[in-house]
Structure 1
Amino acid sequence: MFSFTDLNGIKVTLSFEKNAILIPSKHILVLANNEDKWLLTKHPKRGVEFPGGKVEDYETLEKAALRETYEETGVRISNVEWLAEYIVHDLKPFCKTVFRAKVDDIEEGFEKHETEGPIWFTLQEFFLSKDLSFHMKDEGMRKIMERVISDETRWHNRTETSLS
């Protein structure tokens, strides 16, 4: 587990080990990419961030990931896979689950509700953006993105080796 203090001064604990955090997760964050571009959205107050939100009482975490991603971006995803969880040690602590997913379909003419719709960044654009939400700027997000990059590199190396 990795602990850090977020930009609001609140302690956060991040784990890449499933079931290591004992508080049930009621929030999700989705990292999906289409080739070399990552799906983000712009929240009117917080700024640019990955899609995510709260899990409704009737939903699984995976169903919430599908719904929130579509509601915020008009993008349909699949292959939703658990990546990490973190607990925010606020006055009322909460846990958020981070998922990786595959982009399936991008709806043209998407009707925007809570956000300004889909934004596509390369990793370089993501790390250099001045418009990121505070959630995207902390050490936890850096660790999460390092893990994603590492996982993708291993996957590509395995794929290239098996094709040789």
Structure 2
Amino acid sequence: MYRFTDYYRNEVTLSFDNHPFSRNPKHVWIICCYRNKWLLTKHKERGIEFPGGKVEKNETAQEAAVREVMEETGGTVKSIRYIAQYIVAGKGGKITKNVYFATIDKLMPQDTYYETEGPVQISSIPMNVKRNMQYSFIMKDDVLKYCLTFIRTDKTGDGE
């Protein structure tokens, strides 16, 4: 288990255990790979980030993850797996979020990408992502760092 503060100095607790904080989290974040590149989206206000969002009524967190990838990037998920869960304790309360790793089968153009400007592909995450104003605050805390390390070293799945 890891504890640190996020971009806004909120307390974050991250675990790679199986749903340690909630069986039914209300938020998801999906680290995506498409054709050996990272697949992100450009949020209209926050900047470049991996897709994610809220779990809707009568939807599982994994179903929400698949939907969010499609809505924000046009990506069709080939495989997806849960890798972590974290809690952000902010001024407005606690948010629990599942993190998934997904490989994308294909990108399909969308009429709308909702609150984003659509897909962004990059070969590697910049070393200076924490100081790069093009990237969302969501990319600037240690959740990304620890999750990328987990994906690269995990031998049970399809980590890149």
TM norm. shorter chain > 0.5: yes
- 3-state SS of 1:93 partner: strand
Q: 1:53 is matched by which residue type in structure 2?
A: G
Q: For residue 160 of structure 1, what is the aligned residue in structure 2?
A: none
For structure 1, the residue ranges without an aligned partner over 5 or more in a row are 157-164
Give the TM-score, by structure 2 length.
Answer: 0.87
- Matched with 1:133 is 136
* Structure 1 vs Structure 2 CA RMSD: 2.1
Identical-residue share of aligned pairs (%): 37
Q: Does 1:16 align with 2:16?
A: yes
**What is the rounded CA distance, in whole Å, between the counterparts of 1:4 and 1:40 in structure 2?**
24
Q: Which residue is 1:161 aligned to? A: none
Q: Which residue matches 1:31?
A: 31
Given that residues 4 and 140 in structure 1 are in contact (C-alpha distance below 8 angstroms), is that contact kept between their aligned partners in structure 2?
Answer: no
- Specify which structure has the higher proportion of strand: 2
Question: CA, structure 1 residues 13+23, in 2 after alignment: closer, same or farther (shift >3 Å)?
Answer: farther
Q: 1:47 maps to which residue?
A: 47
Cα distance per residue 1:46-79 (max 9 Å; x no partner): 1100000000011011110111111111111132
- Extract unaligned runs of 5+ from structure 2: none
- The CA distance in 2 between the partners of 1:50 and 1:10, in whole Å, is 20
Number of residue pairs matched by the alignment: 154
- Report the structure, 1 or 2, having the larger helix content: 1
Matched residue type, 2:102: A
Deviating runs (4+, > 6 A) in structure 1? none
Work out whether residues 34 and 106 of structure 2, in 8 Å CA contact, stay in contact via their aligned partners in 1: no
**Hey, what does 2:93 align to over in structure 1?**
92
Deviation of residue 146 (structure 1)?
Answer: 1.3
